[in-house]
Amino acid sequence: MKRILSCMQPTSHLHLGNYLGALKNWVRLQEEGAECFYGVVDLHAITVDYDPAQLKDATREIAAAYIAGGVNPYNSAIFVQSAVAGHSQLMWLLATMAQMGKLERMTQFKDKAGKDKERAGLGLFAYPVLMAADILLYRATHVPVGEDQKQHLELARDIASTFNTRYKVDHFIQPEPYIMGAATRVMSLRDGTQKMSKSAESDLSRINLTDDADAIANKIKRAKTDSEPLPDNMNALKTRPEALNLVTIYAALADKSPEKILNQFAGKQFSEFKPKLSELAVSKLAPITARMNELMSDKEEIDRILAKGAQRARAVAEPVLKETMDIMGFWKAP
Ligand code: TRP
């Protein structure tokens, strides 16, 4: 039986890359009958500058996006990381098994710490250990992540095996990465070689799940392209990052292969392709945006869903934490 766990940080609004690259796959896994846990990792979000006054709503907004994107909260557990105490507790236990040298090689830490590593917080450094705790706490078998998180997942596998070896047990499961595939890598609309990201400064580079139809159309219209018409084969497309990106997005939104999209548009100019892409994007995203807005206007409903999700998450997490502490030899009340 597959047990899936994946999470997103409530750091800012979600965009098309999060939807096509992650959420859509989460929904597919749920529909294939896997047992799914989808977390909003607020403890990770506080490793960088954040506004405490906005954290709650940012957390609710991510949950709303999961639901609007198709995660069924009666089927998958949607939970907030800080509401399940086991994450922080297990993290400390695992921290004793995570090697500094390995943590120092984490590229995300290097990127986020920037030039002034001395001033970076311990939380930012230990971020991958918390992520390992997120995963191992549920004995997840498969973890859908993007390319950029592979290194963190490798560390989680490493910590699991260090634990099992040190305590001579077969306790933690080695989580398998579930890489979403290059086909769903959504790149910036301004630079086809950069990932679409929530932190890129130009808002024109991404389509947010909260954008309305006009904003979506405007961003697609202004998306960078080259001056050639669309080719009739994938090889010719591969050397043209911006063209490849737009075709990839079209294909993912239409649930078709990029080849199929090329069959349809070979020889056509972007002036013809872009309006079709806008139309498709708006038709797919508008219902998601509408549902998100509806949910965000009923915070009590989101809170009820999150409270239920936390209960289900705790039901799995607490016994695993208990067993971990037993194995490690901690005292417990008789
Ligand atoms: N680090 C992940 C990201 O930034 C988020 C994350 C935290 C996560 N814990 C996780 C993803 C556990 C998968 C599983 O995208």
Domain count across the chain: 2
Residues 77 and 10 placed together within one structural domain of the fold: yes
pLDDT at 225: 95
pLDDT at 178: 87
Ligand 1 centroid from CA 130, angstroms: 9
Atom number of ligand 1 nearest to Cα 8: 5
pLDDT at 12: 80
Could you give the residue numbers annotated as active site? 112, 195, 198
φ, ψ of residue 2 in degrees (nearest 5): -80, 135
Handedness of CA 205, 209, 211, 215 (dihedral sign): positive
Ligand 1 centroid from CA 296, angstroms: 23
Going by alpha carbons, the residue nearest to atom 9 of ligand 1 is 131
The CATH number of the domain holding residue 252 is 1.10.240.10
- 132 domain-assigned: yes
Q: Which of 8, 46, 48, 138 to mutate to test the pocket of ligand 1 (most atoms within 8 A of CB)?
A: 8
pLDDT at 20: 92
What is the token pair recorded at 325? 């502490």
Residues 278 and 305 placed together within one structural domain of the fold: no
10-residue stretch averages of pLDDT, the chain, 334 residues long:
95 90 93 96 96 97 97 97 98 97 94 88 96 98 91 97 98 90 79 89 92 95 95 95 96 93 96 97 95 95 98 98 98 93
Q: How far apart are CA 78 and CA 27, in angstroms?
A: 12
Pocket of ligand 1 (CB under 6 A): 5-7, 9, 41, 44, 131, 134-135, 143, 145, 149, 152
Ligand 1 centroid from CA 149, angstroms: 7
Residues 308 and 281 placed together within one structural domain of the fold: no
- pTM of the model as a whole: 0.94
Q: How many CB atoms lie within 10 A of CB 220?
A: 23
Q: How far is CA 212 from CA 224, 281, 290, in A?
A: 20, 11, 9
Residues 111 and 177 placed together within one structural domain of the fold: yes
pLDDT at 116: 84
Residues 30 and 179 placed together within one structural domain of the fold: yes
Contact yes or no for 38/26 (Cβ under 8 A): yes
pLDDT at 183: 56
Ligand 1 centroid from CA 270, angstroms: 36
- 202 domain-assigned: no
The CATH number of the domain holding residue 304 is 3.40.50.620
- 199 domain-assigned: no
For 245, the domain range is 211-294
pLDDT at 182: 52
- 112 domain-assigned: yes
Q: Which of 5, 6, 7, 91 to mutate to test the pocket of ligand 1 (most atoms within 8 A of CB)?
A: 7
- 225 domain-assigned: yes
Residues 147 and 178 placed together within one structural domain of the fold: yes
pLDDT tens-digit readout, 138-185: 999 999 998 889 999 999 999 999 999 999 999 999 999 987 655 578
